[in-house]
Amino acid sequence: MAEVFYTSAIPFNVIRNPAFAKKCEMIGKYGVGYKPPSYHDIREKLLKQVVSKTNLMLEEYKEEWKRTGSTIMSNGWTDKKRHSICNFLVNSSKGTVFLYSLDTSDISKTTDKVFKMLDDVVEYVGEENVVQVVTDNAANFNAAGDLLMQKIERLYWTPCAVHCNDLIFEDFEKNLKVHELTIKKGRQANLKDKPI
């Protein structure tokens, strides 16, 4: 089985996917004579079925957004090729849904552009369904959050608590040498705990 991963360049972490384990179990239950789906089936018929199933699940989440409201969360990062990416997720009492990623490399990070980006996400989810927008605490996001709250008076912009904590620890590390070693050890311990 490992050869399939190696010869198809399948990321090793796929083996941790519960759907992969379920697939292996189902093949075992089927027994001898199991025939895998064809190339055409997997890229056409089966893909359409999974997309339909995903869209049905998304509709259940959208109904919850209408009932209880939702929080839009954004997370910016830079990939290995130095592209700026912003992920958008929606959280509600039903759970969190990934909406989409946006390559923001070519978007200037001015307040107006950030506001437009956030406003587009709010409109996509439905202004009436959004209670809160959470972003990092950079000055442009802060100003864009203020503009968003002016436009939609019942909406709240909130800086991400984790980002705020990261900034606090960066200040500790830079300005309070007594904490430098502790923070360094914490980072090393955190890296050891992360799965490879």
Are 22 and 81 in the same domain?
Answer: no
155 and 69, same structural domain? Answer: yes
Residue 50 lies in a domain: no
Query: Is there a single domain that holds both residue 26 and residue 73?
Result: no
Whether residue 44 lies inside any domain: the answer is: no
Task: State yes or no: pLDDT of 143 exceeds 70.
Answer: yes
Question: Is the same domain home to 68 and 146?
Answer: yes
List, for residues 153-192, the tens digit of each pLDDT value. 999 998 877 766 776 777 777 777 777 777 777 777 765 5
Number of alpha carbons in the 13 Å side-chain half-sphere of residue 167: 10
Q: Do 70 and 118 belong together in one domain?
A: yes
List pLDDT tens digits, range 76-113: 888 888 888 899 999 999 999 999 999 888 777 788 99
66, two tokens: 């209408």
| 43 domain-assigned | no
- Token pair for residue 167? 């900034």
Residue 93 lies in a domain: yes
Are residues 179 and 165 both part of a single domain?
A: yes
Cβ atoms 110, 98 nearer than 8 A: no
Examine the domain organization and report whether 154 and 164 are in the same domain. Answer: no
Distance CA 46, CA 38 (A): 10
In a domain, 100, yes or no: yes
Same domain, 154 and 191: no
- Domain extent, residue 144, equals 58-159
Cα separation, 95 vs 106, whole angstroms: 32
Do residues 10 and 4 lie in contact, with contact meaning Cβ atoms separated by under 8 Å? yes
Residue 182 lies in a domain: yes
Specify whether 19 is located in the same domain as 69: no
149 pLDDT above the threshold of 80: yes
CATH number at residue 73: 3.30.420.60
155 with 185, same domain: the answer is no
Burial track 69-86 (b if 16+ CB lie within 10 A, e otherwise): bbbbbbbbeeeeeeeeeb
Handedness of CA 159, 160, 163, 165 (dihedral sign): positive
Please give the backbone phi and psi of residue 6, each rounded to the nearest 5 degrees, phi first.
-65, -45
138 in the same domain as 90: yes
Does residue 58 carry a pLDDT above 50? yes
> Quick one: 170 and 140 in the same domain?
no
In a domain, residue 164? The reply is: yes
- Provide the pLDDT for residue 196: 43
Residue 63 lies in a domain: yes
Q: What total number of domains does the chain contain? A: 3
| Between 164 and 8, residue with greater pLDDT | 8
